[in-house]
Structure 1
Amino acid sequence: MRWTFSWAGLVFLAMLIVPNLLWTKVRPKGYDQLEQQENRVLVALERIGQVAMSACALFENKSPRSWLWLVVVFGCMGLYERYWIRYFRSHHTLQDFYRDLGMIPIPGAVLPVAAGFSLAVYGRNPFLLGATVIFGIGHVGIHWRHRQERK
């Protein structure tokens, strides 16, 4: 394998990080209470996955797979950005934060994991794939539990 810098990975990370930085200023009302009750194992997996994904997304195999995988990556990330725009235009409640996007449950957690998985396949990057699985277990697990606790 010959590794090279991934421009697609850099764009993916920017699309992932920017809305999350903005979110820190407009967190949903009541989120702090949910955050205090989070499963420590899931939080650890999420954080480890975040760091690993950030590092691994910047590299791809010299001969990536079909560009159709990039369409999937940026299709997921486009929906992710749409989710954030809807949230930022809302009243910033937990209901707004966990509202489905069409048929996609907890889109703020599911879409970046799907995009990370697709980016790993596109770039033939097994390290990114592993990091995405770790991140996905933690991130989706945390937000699935938050959503269930709200019901």
Structure 2
Amino acid sequence: MPAHMADAPAFCQVAPDAAAIEAMARAALARIPAPFAEHLADVVLLIEDYADDETLAALGIDEPIELTGLYHGRPLGEKSSFDSAAMPDRIHLYRLPILWEWIDTGVRLDDLVHHVVVHEVGHHFGLSDDDMHALEAAAG
């Protein structure tokens, strides 16, 4: 158990449900600075316990606990007018791997969810890891 939870009352030690993770993720999305925020209105946010077997296999991941989030869609710079019939872009957050990382690292859960959301938003924009770190700092 993370040190910051050791003194918490027992009722505070219940794992957050999907709705709680979604609320944290929506708060993180609301902190994304312009001009990025203007392009996120149509991105669908999904909270699932784990990635499905097909997704894990496609990514070459054996352990579902290793994947905390995933962006599905074409990066914004690669979109064209022919994409109108395509599925909407989606950000998947995987609740149990996020909770596992939270317990393992002791990072505040809302900070961890923010980090994962910003990383997946970065994929939406086709950003490099350095650009994602700058976006995360700006959305801090």
More helix by share: 1
TM-score by length of 1: 0.30
More strand by share: 2
The structure showing larger relative contact order (alpha-carbon pairs under 8 Å, at least 6 residues apart) is 1
TM-score by length of 2: 0.32
